[in-house]
Amino acid sequence: MSRWPRAVVLALLVGALGLRHAIAAEPGADARRSGFAFMAPSTQAMQRDDTQNPGMLWVGDGEASWRRKAGKADQACADCHGAASASMRGVAARLPDFDPRLERPVNLAERVNLCRERHQQAVPLRLESQELLSLEGFVAFQSRGMPIAPPTDARLAPFRERGQQLFRRRMGQLDLACTQCHDDSAGKRLASSVIPQAHPTGYPIYRLEWQSLGSLQRRLRGCLTGIRAEPFAYGSIELVNLELYLASRAAGLPLETPAVRP
């Protein structure tokens, strides 16, 4: 989604002019593309090289937090899970998943905080805080290269459906839906940028615009602000439902965490 309201309007004008997609697929081929495919070569090179990828700084901090004892239980993540390279392999690719106690889906950030509360007897980390993003980045990094594989739990179906409805719902003063940019106009140019397909392949992600690592929920809230809609609160079920639906759209695409974007 675009960052500025005027840019969203321009995207629709570009679509109306019928300009061809910047990236085309052969008939019958999977036309889905990660946002990586739409980036400039310099940004792609930054993501490919872990020594240049700024997101790896958060991954390193997350590894330290993984080994740090916390809470009344005086336990570290590693005390229960052992080496993250083995125990966390594939975990991020299967989230959001269903939590039986809460009777709803939870994403990676909430899964980390639930572990802190239930097993470490520690207070939850603030959403979008550096420590939580670092732990998310470290855990998700263990699944880098693995295909996104949303769980097939039937209990998730109504939540996924609500996420799909939100993706298609016109919102805000600009009366726009996510699908108008990321389905109808994906691959077309918006000024100097190409509109991506909105596949969550690299979160938490380092955006040059932010000069920081950030969650998918931060990006979704930014999009809502861009269309002049009231953004949902961090951790809201609406944002988790959107994450769940977006994961289903991206099923099979490889994880890139920590990805780099403009």
- Clarify whether residues 132 and 252 are in a common domain: no
Residues 228 and 244 in one domain: yes
Per-residue confidence at 79, pLDDT binned at 50, 70, 90? very high
Spot the catalytic one: 77, 178, 181, 223: 223
CA 215 centroid distance within chain: 6
Structure confidence at residue 28 (pLDDT): 58
CB within 8 Å of 162: residues ≥ 6 apart: 238, 241
86/36 same-domain check: no
Predicted TM-score (pTM) of the model is 0.88
Say whether 80 is catalytic: no
Q: 123 and 164 share a domain? A: no
Final residue of a structural domain among 141, 175, 203: 141
Residues 6+ apart with CB under 8 A from 9: 174
| 200 and 224 co-located in one domain | yes
Q: Is residue 176 part of a domain?
A: yes
Question: Mean per-residue pLDDT for 9-36?
Answer: 55
Average pLDDT, the chain: 90
Q: Is residue 175 part of a domain?
A: yes
- Using the 3D structure, point to which of 141, 171, 203 is the last residue of a domain: 141
* Cβ-contact 199, 32 below 8 angstroms: yes
pLDDT at 30: 87
Residue 78 lies in a domain: yes
Show the tokens assigned to 48. Answer: 């490919």
Rounded Cα distance, 225 and 120, in Å: 36
Residues 177 and 244 in one domain: yes
> Does residue 67 surpass a pLDDT of 70?
yes
CA angle 126, 248, 145 (to 5 degrees): 75
Q: For residues 200 and 249, state if they share a domain.
A: yes
Distance CA 113, CA 126 (A): 9
Check whether residue 39 and residue 166 sit in a common domain. Answer: yes
201 and 72, same structural domain? no
By residue range, what is the domain housing residue 108? 56-141
193 and 96, same domain (yes or no): no
Mean pLDDT on 130-154: 98
CATH code, 40? 1.10.760.10
What pLDDT shows up at residue 197? 96
Q: How confident is the model over 176-202, as pLDDT tens digits? A: 999 999 999 888 877 777 889 999 999
> Number of folded domains in the chain?
2
